[in-house]
């Protein structure tokens, strides 16, 4: 008796994928894989072969292991504690399978979103997998922290890469140990995995053989059309930057123009994403004549541009242009991250030259003392710097993707592994998100400038040593910066740790206001008042230690933007007629956001 073949709804409810879809996918895989391998081999030929340990992790872990072996009792104690917890977990799981209520041996922090699916707790097996992983992760971390006698840099490197390994090994990252992925696979008959494979190939194609994970649907955004849309004009341009002047929305404006110096590690429109969260648009609405530097996305032609060039062709050129456009010499200035470091250098340079055009300075998440540079310091040792410089010399610049990968590793679970699960295992397209689009719109770094920045500031911390750094023939001394200063830091900043940025309060010679915002390096800054999110802390006193400042600080609900505007407008409340871009001595060269910002660093 003949029997019909099983249907797509047979096999215990597991739906089989469409055979035609499988055929098309496999043919596509074969064709694209060949192209990806070719691109990868070409890249290896141009970049040169990588060393066996380009990040020099092996030597750090070897030293850590040697130190551990000098105290075997401590290691044995950690192992005994781990196995005792593991035995308790086994017993609890057995009791739970017999119907008894039991408590978890270990729980992840509330901020950990990897195990948000209910099955991680409702199903005994997945609950066991979850807790087993958490116990193992804690054991690895405790063992690493127990190594005595390591120098600070080695200990930091070992701790960082241990966490990278622990995060990578999470059961949420694997098909067979993620209940959400298994459920999706059963529901779609495996089509999610076919789609995930296609997504993986697309990301490999984007990186020309190296994985470049898509974090958002890039097709939903276009600079100048639905992000970076605050009206304005480009009124000045040189090799390194375009200067944008924004169109006023008030009849009267503050007499002092506002000059914003963003970092050139990323693009300026982090401050002008959408109208609802645009700091630039908001500042215009408060009556500021806003000028913003839009840095060029450099290529090999600008390889010899140094930090002094960025100062001369950036803030100094912008100050001259602002005076031509408005007739005003006195300005308020904002520097964000690396842009703030450049602003600090410029102010010290101006103090030595007795140039007083900048009347107040605001720093967003800016480090000038790099003694405790946070986890970015993991990447700044002599071996890695030499390797990086060799790589930059071959091209004349650092690829934007290299810098982006470094920053993403600081928050690997949020910025790497969550997208691996969503894109490749769940087979879903990334969600459209303006901030992540900006995050992926990376920029290159000129070789000479970047080497100077990493060596003289991160590695040697010369900026806080009076006279150690010389720019354009002038020795810098930050203690001579004596204008009113507003320092904004964020409590969960992985890039510019707030306790490091706080040190500037003890260096500048003028009156300083320090404000700490909740959240991180971006979200804590891009926090419009209308959002009702993220509090901030204020304290009029500036004790030497950041912990003492925080202990005496008052937490206020909502955004810090209003606090800053009250501070900066109090420096000079004089109002004048609104200035229209292009109506002064500088004519409009084109519409905002200009041309430089549209150049993408696609590897």
Tokens (6 digits) for 158 = 């070992």
Give pLDDT, residue 46.
52
What does the alpha-carbon distance between residue 131 and residue 396 come to, in Å, rounded to a whole number?
48
Give pLDDT, residue 20.
67
What does the alpha-carbon distance between residue 317 and residue 210 come to, in Å, rounded to a whole number?
39
Give pLDDT, residue 490.
97
Which range among 77-81, 221-225, 436-440 shows the weakest confidence by mean pLDDT? 77-81
What does the alpha-carbon distance between residue 96 and residue 111 come to, in Å, rounded to a whole number?
26
Give pLDDT, residue 208.
75
User: What is the CATH T-level fold of the domain 232-370+461-598, as seen in this structure?
Assistant: Rossmann fold (3.40.50)
Give pLDDT, residue 26.
53
pLDDT digits (tens, 9 = 90+) for 540-565: 999 999 999 999 999 999 999 999 99
- Average per-residue pLDDT for the chain: 87
Domain spans in the chain, listed from the N-terminal domain onward: 50-189, 232-370+461-598
**Catalytic-residue membership of 345:** no
Band (pLDDT 50/70/90 cuts) for residue 602 is low
Per-position DSSP letters for 182-214, written without gaps between them: HHHHHHHTTHHHHHHHHHHHHHHHHTTTS----
Tokens (6 digits) for 383 = 């071996």
How far CA 165 is from CA of 93, 110, 178, 268, 428, in Å, comes to 26, 21, 18, 33, 25
How far CA 105 is from CA of 87, 144, 528, 569, 570, in Å, comes to 10, 22, 41, 55, 55
User: What does the pLDDT average to over 82-99?
Assistant: 89
Which phi and psi (to 5°) does residue 445 adopt?
A: -125, 125
What does the alpha-carbon distance between residue 248 and residue 368 come to, in Å, rounded to a whole number?
33
Give pLDDT, residue 155.
78
**Residues 89, 293, 333, 337: which is the catalytic one?**
337
Tokens (6 digits) for 63 = 């030293």
How buried is 570 (Cβ within 10 angstroms: 0-12 exposed, 13-18 middle, 19+ buried)? Answer: exposed
The pTM score is 0.85
3-state helix, strand, coil in the chain (%, to 5): 50, 10, 40
User: What does the pLDDT average to over 282-294?
Assistant: 98
- Kindly tell me if the per-residue pLDDT of 2 is higher than 60: no
Which range among 34-43, 381-390, 520-529 shows the weakest confidence by mean pLDDT? 34-43
């Amino acid at each position: 008796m003949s029997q019909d073949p099983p249907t797509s709804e047979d096999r215990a409810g597991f739906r089989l994928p469409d055979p035609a879809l499988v055929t098309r996918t496999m043919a596509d895989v074969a064709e694209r894989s060949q192209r990806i391998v070719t691109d990868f081999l070409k890249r290896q030929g141009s970049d040169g072969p990588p060393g066996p340990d380009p990040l020099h992790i092996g030597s750090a872990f070897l030293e850590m292991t040697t130190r551990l072996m000098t105290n075997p009792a401590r290691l044995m104690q950690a192992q005994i504690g781990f196995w005792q917890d593991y035995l308790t977990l086994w017993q609890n799981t057995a009791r739970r399978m017999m119907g008894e209520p039991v408590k978890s041996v270990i729980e992840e922090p509330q901020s950990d979103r990897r195990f948000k699916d209910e099955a991680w707790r409702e199903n005994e097996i997945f609950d066991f997998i979850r807790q087993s992983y958490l116990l193992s992760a804690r054991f690895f971390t405790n063992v690493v922290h127990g190594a005595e006698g390591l120098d600070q840099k080695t200990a930091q490197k070992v701790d960082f890469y241990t966490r990278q390994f622990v995060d990578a090994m999470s059961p949420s990252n694997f098909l067979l140990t993620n209940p959400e992925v298994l459920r999706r696979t059963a529901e779609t008959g495996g089509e999610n995995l076919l789609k995930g494979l296609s997504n993986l190939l697309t990301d490999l194609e984007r990186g020309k053989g190296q994985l470049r994970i898509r974090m958002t649907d890039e097709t939903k955004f276009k600079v100048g059309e639905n992000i970076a849309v605050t009206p304005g004009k480009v009124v000045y341009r040189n090799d390194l930057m375009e200067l944008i002047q924004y169109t006023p929305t008030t009849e009267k404006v503050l007499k002092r123009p506002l000059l914003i110096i963003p970092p050139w590690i990323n693009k300026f429109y982090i401050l002008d994403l959408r109208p609802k969260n645009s700091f630039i648009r908001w500042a215009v609405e408060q009556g500021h004549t806003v000028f913003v530097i839009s840095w060029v996305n450099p290529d090999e032609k600008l390889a010899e541009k140094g930090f002094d060039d960025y100062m001369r062709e950036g803030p100094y050129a912008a100050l001259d242009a602002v005076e031509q456009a408005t007739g005003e010499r006195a300005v308020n200035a904002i520097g964000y991250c690396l842009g703030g470091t450049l602003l600090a250098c410029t102010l010290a340079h101006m103090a030595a030259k007795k140039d007083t055009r900048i009347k107040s300075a605001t720093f967003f998440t800016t480090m000038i003392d790099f003694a405790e540079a946070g986890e970015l310091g993991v990447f700044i040792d002599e071996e890695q710097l030499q390797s990086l410089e060799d790589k930059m010399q071959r091209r004349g610049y650092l690829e934007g993707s290299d810098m982006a990968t470094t920053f993403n590793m600081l928050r690997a679970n949020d910025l790497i592994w969550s997208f691996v699960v969503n894109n490749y295992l769940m087979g879903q397209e990334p969600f459209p998100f303006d901030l992540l689009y900006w995050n992926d719109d990376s920029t290159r770094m000129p070789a000479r400038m970047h080497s100077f920045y990493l060596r003289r500031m991160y590695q040697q911390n010369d900026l806080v040593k009076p006279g150690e750094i010389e720019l354009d023939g002038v020795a810098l001394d930050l203690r001579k910066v004596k204008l009113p200063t507003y320092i904004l830091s964020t409590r969960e900043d992985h890039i510019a740790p707030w306790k490091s940025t706080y040190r500037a309060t003890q260096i500048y010679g003028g009156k300083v206001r320090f404000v700490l915002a909740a959240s991180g390096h971006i979200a804590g800054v891009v926090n419009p008042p209308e959002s009702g999110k993220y509090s901030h802390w204020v304290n009029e006193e500036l004790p030497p230690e950041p912990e003492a400042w925080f202990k005496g600080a008052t937490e206020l609900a909502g955004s810090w933007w209003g606090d800053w505007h009250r501070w900066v407008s109090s420096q000079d409340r004089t109002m004048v007629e609104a200035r229209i871009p292009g109506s002064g001595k500088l004519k409009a060269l084109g519409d905002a956001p200009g041309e430089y910002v549209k150049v993408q660093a696609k590897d």
